[in-house]
């Protein structure tokens, strides 16, 4: 009887996906931040040495993420098959964007010519957007397929890029002007808005309890450490407090760490499958059908599984 209850639980209850591990999560974590950083380098008007350092960091982040995904594949050289489905696959579009991105980025590193720097930034944005669409294309995971996940992933990638640029400027002892700091505050506020919209959308649509619990547990910490504290640090810099470079660096690190923690939670911990859901309850004979139901979206009590 116990084994039968467990089998029923396995069929009905949402389960945490195991196909994408920390290596897949790292691609979204590092790659998105790298794409956002490259975009901001293209519009920030940096000194050549600082621009080179930031471009190198952005390309390195993207390369690290893609390398982790490559090692996740059981037979790595099969990764070349990803280039066969450009018309239908966002994963293919991500891979193509990465190829062109590294070519343009290499030229930008060598020459620091505005044309190549801007092209690299545009391709960084394309790479970031492709990643966001990859996650949303996985229809079996309610926390991923929600349409608001795309705006959240793009917003956090851009915000993390701004945070990394602030760190680079602080370490290079280069002045982060008022426009850059004000822009970073704006990005932080926008990310907080999209985060709340995404979380509210999942709650309204009735995502699996396991996913909601994970995301609710990190909500307050994400808002505090990833948004409120960085904004306070930047405001202190704008107010003329001493230790300007240190405050800018801390703000940037907090912004990046907050985004990375949410993306890891989203890809690994909140990635529950849908479980059983019915558009309407069937009726025996000629009786009217019942209301919609999601009997598998909550763990089944007594089985220890869910």
What per-residue confidence (pLDDT) applies to 231? 98
What is the mean predicted confidence (pLDDT) over 86-115? 92
Dihedrals phi, psi of 293, to nearest 5 degrees? -145, 150
Tell whether 9 is covered by a domain: no
Q: Is residue 6 one of the residues assigned to a domain?
A: no
How many domains is the chain partitioned into structurally?
1
pLDDT tens, position by position, 140-186: 899 999 999 999 999 999 999 999 999 999 998 766 788 899 999 99
pLDDT tens-place string over residues 57-83:
999 999 999 998 887 766 666 666 676
Q: Of the ranges 53-62, 116-125, 182-191, 241-250, which one carries the lowest mean pLDDT score?
A: 241-250
Model confidence, pTM: 0.86
Is there a domain that residue 303 lies in? no
CATH code, domain with 132: 1.20.1630.10
The pLDDT of residue 16: 80
Do the domain assignments include residue 300? no
* Domain annotation covers residue 297: no
Confidence of residue 301 (pLDDT cuts 50, 70, 90): very low
In this prediction, residue 17 carries a pLDDT of 81
- Mean pLDDT on 24-36: 96
Please report whether residue 99 resides in a domain: yes
SS (H, E, C) the chain: CHHHHHHHHHHHCCCECCCCCHHHHHHHHHHHHHHHHHHHHHHHCCCHHHHHHHHHHHHHHHHHHHHHHHHHCCCHHHHHHHHHCCCCCHHHHHHHHHHHHHHHHHHHHHHCCHHHHHHHHHHHHHHHHHHHHHHHCCCCCHHHHCCHHHHHHHHHHHHHHHHHHHHHHHHCCCCCCHHHHHHHHHHHHHHHHHHHHHHHHHHHHCCCHHHHHHHHHHHHHHHHHHHHHHHHHHHHHHCCCCCHHHHHHHHHHHHHHHHHHHHHHHHHHCCECCCCCECCCCCCCCCCCCCCECCCCCCCCCCCCC
Instruction: Identify whether 125 is part of a domain.
Output: yes
Per-residue pLDDT, 306? 33
Confidence of residue 131 (pLDDT cuts 50, 70, 90): very high
The residue that leads in pLDDT, 279 or 142, is 142
Mean pLDDT calculated for residue range 262-276: 89
pLDDT of residue 45: 85
Query: What is the structure's pLDDT at 89?
Result: 85
pLDDT at 284: 63
Range of 242's domain? 14-269
Share of the chain above pLDDT 90, in %: 63
9-18, 46-55, 171-180, 220-229: which has the minimum mean pLDDT?
9-18
Whether 83 is covered by a domain: the verdict is yes
């Amino acid at each position: 009887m116990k084994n039968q209850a467990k089998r029923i639980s396995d069929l009905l209850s949402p389960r945490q996906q195991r196909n994408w591990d920390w290596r897949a999560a790292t691609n979204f974590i590092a790659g998105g931040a790298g794409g956002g950083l490259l975009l901001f380098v293209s519009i920030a008007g940096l000194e050549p040495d600082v621009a080179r350092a930031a471009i190198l960091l952005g390309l390195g982040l993207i390369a690290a993420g893609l390398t982790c995904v490559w090692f996740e594949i059981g037979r790595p050289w099969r990764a070349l098959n990803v280039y066969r489905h450009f018309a239908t696959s966002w994963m293919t579009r991500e891979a193509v964007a990465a190829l062109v991105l590294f070519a343009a980025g290499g030229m930008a590193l060598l020459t620091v010519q505005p044309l190549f720097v801007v092209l690299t930034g545009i391709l960084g944005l394309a790479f970031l957007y492709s990643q966001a669409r990859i996650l949303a294309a996985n229809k079996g995971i309610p926390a991923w397929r929600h349409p608001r996940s795309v705006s959240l992933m793009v917003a956090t990638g851009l915000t993390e890029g701004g945070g990394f640029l602030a760190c680079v400027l602080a370490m290079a002892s280069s002045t982060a002007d008022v426009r850059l700091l004000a822009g970073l505050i704006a990005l932080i506020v926008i990310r907080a808005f999209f985060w709340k919209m995404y979380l509210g959308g999942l709650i309204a649509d009735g995502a699996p309890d396991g996913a909601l619990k994970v995301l609710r547990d990190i909500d307050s910490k994400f808002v505090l450490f990833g948004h409120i504290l960085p904004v306070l640090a930047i405001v202190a810099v704008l107010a003329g407090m001493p230790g300007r470079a240190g405050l800018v660096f801390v703000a940037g690190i907090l912004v990046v760490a907050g985004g990375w923690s949410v993306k890891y939670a989203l890809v690994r911990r909140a990635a529950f499958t849908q479980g059983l859901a019915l558009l309407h309850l069937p009726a025996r004979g000629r009786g009217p059908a019942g209301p919609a139901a999601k009997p598998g979206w909550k763990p089944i009590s007594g089985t220890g599984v869910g």
